[in-house]
Structure 1
């Protein structure tokens, strides 16, 4: 028999066995109660009788054979089509979904499941990405049994696995259950593997627009142009590491990450960082976004790529073409500053004012003053339509010294005064 201090640890493993015979050298009431708790066929006490051993072993094999026949008949009707085809027939028995983080270990998981001593033998439906366990009878503590299965898998493999358990009460077809299990399994994208998820705890995904707004695009242009690694890290971690339930749909998050990577790609091309080393790292990061199983690792990989890229650019001598881009980024950042001058921009790129003016004119077909004025008028147009600020307040915020001058140049460029623009647009 099992020592008293080990009983609670060993009991769950013994209960998974279909037929139990208990043997003890201590014929006490406590040992008899343990045998009853395990629903043992018999409690053997030394000395043993050969006829009793033969009788109990034959009885155990007979019951085991009958039980296997019942289980086979119970679950044999379930097929793969039931997972994918709509049906009005409700399925009321437990269903588990198993998924390993590394698909290379899926054959190992199939072998593990085949040999695992389930107390109720499930039908195993294996797909190219996951394994479905369909049980043919009810049992208690589905979640606890899933945790035990996960625990024992950790002893035979270093590959993380997650299990989703169907725990919703309403009548559902096997196809509907399978869809719920897949959605529950998608939580691994946020919380990782080595966990058991319950379908009853999964709600609807939170919807959002995944693409960068104009403001966010400009923010990324500035961060990359300025080579601000700390700000880039902070932006990505704030954006992607603070999610709580209800979680956003994982596919939309992947889209948002690719939208950010598109800005990085433009920065690569502009900075002429297109050698094989960075092209491979870029493609690897893109693959991580599309196929990575965990959001945290995807973002960490993205941070690593962007920071290395920015550090290389920062340590590369600035060409005159790059100087124009840096100059424009500085203008975009400071155009609302009334005291902004061409000499300040020239100081930023370490070139003469006359040469910067010439570069801007050749690159953009406008002078420094015209570029600044265009940014200020664009800002003023946005505020005229989206706020109730007065004309003078908007002029002040946009970087104009006087409201009258603002109104005059606004009409020259837009064809209407600020007040007319606000009323008629």
Structure 2
């Protein structure tokens, strides 16, 4: 069994509670693992220098050495170590920079046992797969081939990161990179996806066909595969295209996309402008290409986005959504889900008519508006449901992959919030019914269990909700009502004390007398004489 494999795991987080919780979860899930807890990146690095580590789970923000510095060191010095990034929603965009350092998984705080298990299971599977591959290939040939490929990959990766090795550029196989050229990033989806409004990913055969077309169009290209995004169905590759102008690259890729779309193969590409020396300016070219690739957000059927044509869009502000926000307020106040969905559809249609601003601006504008609406509904939703809904909204917007999906997510979240509000309203009505039942059955058995059964609540839950409503523990509330009834009956009737006790739920008149005296410091008889109305 995979769970029985001994792996060495390091957890790094400067927050003691978070570190201890994650460490304890891993211990319970995988008792065979050796789990080491560290409070900063320096401690992790020291541990790795003593003995190899299989998996590192690290937070981003830590003292001494933060998570980003740590994963960069691991990437360069311990390439076999699998890295998992611990992230909060507000750090998500920042954390994406970790992809280039082979961070293959991530966990969003707060931790859930199921998510930790799922992530570690994937990493274990990858470790096992790599181990099996290494055994099946000739050891010495594998080492030689991998060394050469890794050297080429590192050189090209360093170059697009701005670390120029001038001497290597002079080598014959890289000499073309000294000439003019263009950088491109292509993006495609592979396999199945369950996300809203996202087309099915490409099969292995379709991916092979895509690469065949790209290779045919650009025989001199240098291709640098990139680590997957946090969404594992997303694939990217950087193309360095010497002796190709940006206009030529755009024309070729647009033709390629049009041809492949006939076979349901779609991809997206972001292009830099033409650089006079592609190798020297590779990092600048890559930045431009990445900025342009972001516009895939608006196009579900693939697209080519060129810096020469689109860079001016970067500064266009998002259109005001205040009108739609006010309409959403009204729809939520009136609990009109259909109207809420209509407003979101109208907002989407209005924004589509505008010049398209930079995708991250659009995503931030809409997600911020919906999260603010959710926060305004906090007091109308049960606290546990509200916390879950808010955390879900952060994660869903962080992983949002398209313009269509942005608005589908917004409908889904507001719809769930409105349903939760309805549930709380119904529960409040049930609490009112419960209080009415108690007041009209003071002569009966009013044990907490019996009353809870009446409204189909758990006794502990009912007790807590009643205390929120009336400010008293359940037993104190019932006794208070019975004593109030007793005083009215003593003043307004000539009934016997024993009969009054029964009507107030006391079948032992002596016990009734003791409880009455404890509440009013006199006996029922004395109270009647002092307060009798006739």
Which of the five TM-score ranges fits, normalised by the shorter chain?
Answer: 0.3 to 0.5
The structure showing larger relative contact order (alpha-carbon pairs under 8 Å, at least 6 residues apart) is 1
TM (normalized to structure 1)? Answer: 0.45
